[in-house]
Amino acid sequence: MQAKNLIYDGTFDGFLSAVFYVFEFKLKGVTIQNEFTVQQGLFSENERIITDEIKANRVWNGIKSKLSSNGSYQLYYAFLSEVVGVEDLLLDFIQYAFSQRKKVDKDYSHPSILKTAQIAKSVGREKHRMEAFVRFRLTKDDIYFASIEPDFNVLPLIEKHFKRRYADQKWVIYDIKRGYGLFYDLEKVELINMDFPENFNFTKTDDAFFATQEFEFQKLWQDYFKATNIESRKNMKLHIRHIPKRYWKYLSEKQPN
Amino acid sequence: MSFQRTQEKLKILADAAKYDVSCSSSGSKRANTNKGLGDASGMGICHSYTEDGRCVSLLKILLTNHCIFDCAYCVTRKSNDVKRAAFKVQEVVDLTINFYRRNYIEGLFLSSGIFKSADYTMERLVAVAKKLRLEENFNGYIHLKSIPGASDELMREAGLYADRLSVNIEIPTEAGLKKLAPDKKREDFIKPMIKVKNEIIQYNAEKKIIKSTPKFAPAGQSTQMIIGASGENDFQIMQTSNHFYKNYNLKRVYYSGYVPISYDNRLPQIGSAVPMLRENRLYQTDWLMRFYGFDVSEILNEQHQNLDLDVDPKLSWALRNLHEFPVDVNTADQRMLARIPGLGMKSVFKIINARRFRKLNWEHLKKIGVALNRAQYFMVCDSNQFEKRDLTSEKIKGLILQNSTSKYQKMLSNQLSLFG
Ligand code: SF4
């Protein structure tokens, strides 16, 4: 029999719809792939899955009843990693969960569960880092704007945090890599796509776009950062472990003067 | 706010505050319920790290570095010839709010040299916090340093607006304090601690009856001790800590390896090394006390007055208590699991969860992330490949050090994270 390759639209609901399909037709040996990263298998047949919110919800509720809340979080986190092949890993996890009577999400001796937990952990780490390393800059339109480029798709995970914290200011957090952002308008958070001017430089605080005092506060923050270091305890290795270099270009304290 | 003047002051007053190690911003439950700015209800976040590797989560500054006292270990001391500056209350408020809005910080840590008198200084610290809360609707974290000798009334007010209060004991023993900080009296540190402790107790009692009691220092109080300035041994230091934890409900004691900053023959010379490894061993011991169920006397006592530098305190304890081992990971209780060298609390919980599904063997443990190079000598599991040889402590220590030379060498030459 030919192996099947299920293609979905890249959303979590799309993925869950694919899982529904696998269960409905009791398919064996399938793979699930995101439409943006499809790799043609030599002997496999592609099948497009249509995202169906109702089916997706049924699967999700089923998963939640078979796992602790921590387990279903891990699954969602791992999905957002966008790691190649993560869908197949999660499918295996889900199939194992449905085959057992006990809740299995803490059974780290099962390879898919351990692997999922490990990926979820990296995603969790980056979520945490984004909560730490987002740097807002005040624009001329009175909106606090931040650009990020995370390895994993963590915007959906940090929305709540920023909404709770910055309830009295308008803000945007924009994922440049994935081309979408969150916009809080003092009431609610929306997903947005933005068109940036041709010459817009994400790391530069250009006075055409940003408020005049923005430069001053960045400078004060840089000075503070310098003054608080204790030279005789300097340890750059540790420093870089805490703030990996790939994040530096968006950190105001790491900008050259 | 004049940018240039603020800039000048910030440089001076951040520089002078940097030796205070407490920077934690967790433990409060102040949530954003008023659609204002900020939220201090979650875990504190480190927004940046200094080049020496410490977390930056709060804007840590002095209100002023003018001081009428002359403590030998302090850059701000009266006899030190440095540039002096003082912030206005409003300047500190503006800095805090604007840094917070840009997601640079979790809040403010405000300390001060003593100008004029303790109360005069304390009053201004309180004014900053009050303004932030009442005028700016700020729910971020505020840590105020209590000025030794400030009145009870001001301490009470401070606790209404701050999340945490601390008074630095600085020198672990009374004799050391006398030598290095002749203007200070031990009672002056203890009195505010008692006041804060009692207010917290009273708050907890009242909370049960009146729902709307204003929160009092919801993240509790902490203190700091300087290590290696006044000759105390580790036993004395940890006894003092233990005393503070037990008697004043402290949330945290911080240990700060002394950074030589002055030519004073009562102190280590400028250029002598900061005792970073020792500082780390003290933190590890503190953790064992607070989270691993150890009594301080198990780790440090008359016979064993200083922590080993070559091995961590848990391993050191285990080597002195081989009769408690090996522990069977498939049956042991949490307390004993937590005592196995190489097992952190996270691994302990993972083991307890995983062993409900099957008996664990070495492979499982490895996958869970147990540091077997240390743990293997202290445990048995579902396997007969166990180190059955009757090894002596010296032998075990030798084997462990041999198998982890690179790691321990790094530890000896560099600062390390807790229980890496
Ligand atoms: S009272 Fe405080 S600020 Fe003044 S010299 Fe002593 S330690 Fe320094």
Q: Which of A168, A172, A144, A141 is nearest to A158 (CA)?
A: A172
Does A128 contact chain B (CB < 8 Å)? yes
B170 DSSP β-pair partners: B225
Task: Kindly state if the Cβ of B171 falls inside 6 Å of ligand 1.
Answer: no
Contacts of B354 in chain A (CB under 8 A): 106-109
For A99-132, the pLDDT digits (tens) are 988 888 888 888 999 999 999 999 999 999 999 9
Assess contact for B108 and B141: CB atoms under 8 A. Answer: yes
> In 3-state terms, chain A is what percent helix, strand and coil (to 5)?
45, 15, 35
What span, in angstroms and rounded, lies between the C-alpha atoms of A209 and A162? 23
Please report, in angstroms and rounded to a whole number, the separation of the first and last CA atoms in chain A.
Answer: 64
Q: Which A residues, 5 through 64, put their C-beta within 8 Å of a C-beta on chain B? A: none
Q: What is the pTM of this model?
A: 0.85
Assess contact for A180 and A155: CB atoms under 8 A. Answer: yes
Does A169 contact chain B (CB < 8 Å)? yes
How close is the Cα of A203 to the center of ligand 1, in Å?
Answer: 41
Q: Read off the tokens for A54.
A: 């109702």
Q: How many C-beta neighbours within 10 Å does residue B306 have?
A: 12
* pLDDT for residue B192: 83
Average pLDDT over residues A140-157: 95
Contacts of B47 in chain A (CB under 8 A): 132-133
| C-alpha distance from residue B158 to each of A162, B122, B151 (Å) | 28, 8, 11
Task: Kindly state if the Cβ of B77 falls inside 6 Å of ligand 1.
Answer: yes
What span, in angstroms and rounded, lies between the C-alpha atoms of A89 and A126? 20
Q: Which of A55, A118, A63 is nearest to A95 (CA)?
A: A63
Does B246 contact chain A (CB < 8 Å)? no
Q: Which residue from A128, A131, A233 is facing B274, i.e. has the nearest CB?
A: A233
Q: Is the dihedral of CA A9, A14, A15, A19 positive or negative?
A: negative
B61 DSSP β-pair partners: B110
Does residue B313 have a cis bond before it (omega within 30 degrees)?
Answer: no
Among A135, A143, A168, A245, most B C-beta atoms within 10 A, so best to mutate, is A168
According to DSSP H, which parts of B208-291 are helical? 234-248, 276-291
Does A101 contact chain B (CB < 8 Å)? no
B86 DSSP β-pair partners: B64
Looking at the predicted structure, is the pLDDT value of residue A1 above 60? no
Q: Which is higher by pLDDT, A157 or B420?
A: A157
Which residue's alpha carbon is at the smallest distance from atom 3 of ligand 1?
Answer: B113
Per-residue pLDDT tens listing for chain B (420 residues):
788 999 999 999 999 888 877 667 777 788 888 888 988 887 788 888 888 888 888 999 999 999 999 988 888 999 999 999 999 999 999 999 999 999 999 999 999 999 899 999 999 999 999 999 999 999 999 999 989 889 999 999 999 999 999 888 888 888 888 888 888 888 888 888 888 888 888 887 777 776 667 788 888 888 888 888 888 899 999 999 999 898 888 888 999 888 887 778 888 887 778 788 899 999 999 999 999 999 999 999 999 999 999 899 999 999 999 999 889 999 999 999 999 998 999 999 999 988 888 899 888 888 888 888 888 899 988 887 765 567 888 888 888 888 765 444 444 444 444 443
Please report the ipTM that was assigned to this predicted complex: 0.90
Average pLDDT over residues A218-237: 87
DSSP assignment of B129-142 equals HHHHHHTT-B-SEE
* pLDDT for residue A43: 65
What span, in angstroms and rounded, lies between the C-alpha atoms of B216 and B210? 14
* pLDDT for residue A228: 86
For B82-137, the pLDDT digits (tens) are 999 999 999 999 999 999 999 999 999 999 999 899 999 999 999 999 999 999 99
DSSP 8-state code for residue B29: -
B40 DSSP β-pair partners: B30
* pLDDT for residue A3: 76
